[in-house]
Amino acid sequence: MSDILKMCKTVVSSLRKKTFCQMYPFQPAKFHTHTRGHIKLDAAKCILCTLCAKRCPTGALEVDRVKGYWQINRYKCIMCIECVHACPVKPVKALTTEQQYAPPMAKMENERFDVEIKKPAAAPKVAAADAP
Amino acid sequence: MFETQEIINIKKEELLPKVSSLLKDGQRLVQICCTKGSKLVVDYSFDKNYKFTNFRLELDLQGDTLPSITEVYFAAFTYENELHDLFGINVVGNKLDFGGKFYRIKETAPFNKPPCQEVKNA
Amino acid sequence: MPKRTVIPFGPHHPVLPEPIHLDLVLEDEKVVEAIPNIGFIHRGLELLCEKKPFQDMVLVAERICGICSLVHGIGFVNGVEKIMNLQVPERAELLRVFWSEMSRIHSHLLWLGLAADAIGFESLFMHSWRVRELVLDIFEETTGGRVIFDAIKVGGVKKNISKETLGRILKQLDKIEEEYKQIADVFVNDFTIAHRWSGVGVLTKEQAELLGAVGPCARASGINFDVRMIKYGGYDKISMEPIVETAGDCYARALVRVREVYQSLDQVRQAISKMPEGGEVEVKVTGFPTGEYFSRVEQPRGEVIYYVKGNGTKFLDRFRVRTPTFANVGPLVQMLAGCDLADVPAIVLAIDPCISCTER
């Protein structure tokens, strides 16, 4: 008879403990330091170098230097974080990883961020007396 | 640490006698694999006591036949059906032949397509 | 002459984690033969090697399957490192062993839950998956992902684990083992489970050898074979013996998997204790792969073979995966002949079918 009642001890002890299930999304989710949620762009820091789009293995990113925008297809993004590693902006990168998952989308569309095209600083003029 | 592996080239006619002698030796059939290069290269892999041996034979790209080894190792029927469905190799004598319907795919021999021709602009 | 009927099993069935189709030929409730049919999730991933550079193929290899994703990555990377003659640092090898064995624990706990659900023992299914959540929390803490980790690359691993985190993980392993003991006790000693699974789907040792069974399915029939004994990539520092049972029925396969979880917990503790202090976790990769190699790795389901062939460019010539479920389809057809119709779900689950691995 005791063979059939092996499960009783676990069942009785779990009746006394609080529930293991977490009522997400009504309660906030618990994340860890390295959790990869979604990619976020800081448009003020982006210099439109297109290195992230070249490195992306699935082709989820599109960067246009002429029209001035950075666009991501959230469905193609596999969260490999290669774009974050490739971003050359110093001291703080323009691309960061957020821990919360991307918000749900009702339509399949790309998410576009407009980026201001920054002109490089003008080269200093050489004085006429110094020219050979 | 990597194990040493042997690759032995054989001819298509030697296949069945070789496989029968391997069964008497107690070797286990591990897999049958095909690679497409300038010819179709078919690899038969066997294992006994953690020693891995590989037997290799070559076929023409289109229209060649291959004798089945299901008489000796029945489990080869899955690999030979896969060879037929994905590469278009005609396997003769398969004991459980699905006739091309093992993989439910629309195209025939998708891994053995001829290279695309270049379209020249007029 | 009794009348024969044909009943389709799958592709949608509550017991199957992934779709497979079986045509069962029945004579009055006894199965006479079973004819398998696959191809529902064939994605043609092997051909992608001609379009993606070999370093990005690790991401493709990991996504062949969700349950055994890390070990696919390790098999591919092992093959490429052999043909490029790269020597991975010791700390990276032991980190790979750590993640592989945790992956084995999570996969076996998933199977134990599904097997309990298949016979109707739903509370045991929920408790198994509750213990599995503790293992997935360890993955999220160390790699950032719960199911697909993105932790492996050619030449090493992408993330290092600090000493404090390893100490915390050791304490969590004690907690996991304590919770797991209660569940394992039910699987080993409960009367209903033994009654339901004993004598069902018997595969003798001679049949298993002839049909090429691999993994726990073969070890439950008495074949002493575990690919980790060839001591690839880091396993030369871990001591282990394959776990073998002789009965050859579904109950023996369940017992092999229950005992392998205890063995994996022990191996994780060995890997953590033998990890060298400090040191690099990756080595620089230059050049392109040339040559060919068959890389063999032990997945939770058995022996998986990776054939990689390079031709000196950044695209590989051929990338071929032979997964353990593909090798176990032959033994499955043998096991189903002569069984009752009510036992078919239990037998199909006993080989641990991972069909997205089979069809790539």
Tokens of B34: 């095909």
User: CATH number of the domain at A29-117, please?
Assistant: 3.30.70.3270
Query: What residues does A114 pair with on adjacent strands?
Result: A69
- pLDDT tens for residues B53-97? 888 888 887 778 888 888 888 888 888 888 888 888 888 888 888
Q: Which domain holds residue B15?
A: 6-103
Nearest by CB to residue A34, choosing from C143, C148, C183, is C143
Instruction: Indicate whether B111 belongs to any domain.
Output: no
State whether B54 and C294 contact (CB < 8 Å). yes
Residue type, A128: A
Please check whether residue C39 touches A, CB under 8 A.
no
The single-letter DSSP state of residue C316 is E
Q: How far is C33 from chain A (nearest CA, A)?
A: 35
CB atoms within 10 A of CB C20: 24
Q: Considering its fold, how many domains does chain B have in total?
A: 1
CA-closest candidate to residue C51, choices C313, C325, C322, C343: C313
Nearest chain A residue to C186 by CA: give it.
Answer: A6
Test C127 with A6 for CB contact under 8 angstroms: no
Residues of the domain holding C262? 41-323
CB–CB of C36/C332 below 8 Å? yes
In this predicted structure, the answer to whether residue C118 has a pLDDT above a threshold of 70 is yes
For chain A, domain boundaries = 29-117
Q: Looking at residue C47, what DSSP letter applies? A: G
CATH number of the domain that residue C185 is part of: 1.10.645.10
Q: Is A20 on the interface with C (CB under 8 A)?
A: yes
Quote the minimal CA–CA distance from A130 to chain C in Å: 47
Interchain touch A–C (≥3 Cβ pairs closer than 8 Å)? yes
Interface residue A43 vs chain C (CB under 8 A): no
| Domain assignment of residue C310, yes or no | yes
Q: What pLDDT is attached to residue A127?
A: 57
Examine the pLDDT at C317 and tell me if it is beyond 60.
yes
Tokens representing C47 are: 């051909």
**Least CB-CB distance to B102: which of C37, C305, C327?**
C37
First to last CA, chain A: 107
C34-57 average pLDDT score = 85
3-state secondary structure of C51: coil
- CATH for B51: 3.30.460.80
Whether B122 is covered by a domain: the verdict is no
Reported as a single tens digit per residue, the pLDDT across C255-282 is 999 999 999 999 999 888 988 887 788 8
Residue C119 sits at the vertex; the CA angle it makes with C203 and C17, to the nearest 5 degrees, is: 80
Is residue C109 over pLDDT 90? yes
Nearest to C98 by CA among C258, C295, C283, C266: C266
Residue A69 to residue A117: CA distance in whole angstroms: 9
Confidence at residue B122, expressed as pLDDT on a 0 to 100 scale: 46
β partners of residue C311: C290
Give how far B48 is from chain C: nearest CA, Å: 10
Q: What pLDDT score was predicted for residue A9?
A: 77
Nearest beta carbon to residue C211 from set B30, B75, B105: B75
Give residues 76 to 115 of C whose Cβ lies within 8 Å of B. Answer: 78, 82
ipTM of the complex: 0.86
pLDDT at B87: 84
- Asked if the C-beta of A35 comes within 8 angstroms of chain C's C-beta atoms, the answer is yes
A85 CA: distance to closest CA in chain C (Å):
12
Q: How far apart are CA A47 and CA A45, in angstroms?
A: 6
Q: Residues A55, C55: contact at Cβ < 8 Å?
A: no
Residues 6+ apart with CB under 8 A from C309: B35, C291, C292, C316, C317, C318, C319
Å between C51 CA and nearest CA of chain A: 11
Number of structural domains (chain C) is: 1
What is the model's pLDDT at position C110? 92
- pTM, whole model, 2 decimals? 0.89
Q: What is the overall mean pLDDT for chain C?
A: 88
Instruction: Please count the residue pairs, one from chain B and one from chain C, whose beta carbons lie less than 8 angstroms apart.
Output: 81
The answer to whether position C199 is within a domain reads: yes
Regarding chains B and A, contact by 3 or more CB pairs under 8 A is answered as no
* C357 domain-assigned: no
Please indicate, yes or no, if residue B112 is contained in any of the structural domains: no
For residues A80-109, give the mean pLDDT. 84
CA dihedral of residues B92, B93, B98, B101 (deg, nearest 10): -10
Q: Is residue B117 one of the residues assigned to a domain? A: no
pLDDT digits (tens, 9 = 90+) for B42-51: 888 888 888 8
Question: DSSP letters of A33-75?
Answer: TT---EEEE-TTT-----HHHHH-SS--EEEETTTTEEEE-TT
pLDDT given at position A109: 84
Per-residue CA distances from A38 to A27, A42, A108, C138 (Å): 20, 13, 17, 20
The mean predicted confidence, pLDDT, of chain B is 81
Of C240, C249, C221, C188, nearest to A7 (Cα)?
C188
**The pLDDT of residue A124:** 64
Does residue C15 belong to any structural domain of this protein?
no
Q: How far is C91 from C278, CA to CA, in rounded Å?
A: 8
List pLDDT tens digits, range A37-79.
888 888 888 888 888 888 888 888 888 888 888 888 888 888 8
CB atoms within 10 A of CB C141: 18
Read off the pLDDT band of A107 (50, 70, 90).
Answer: confident
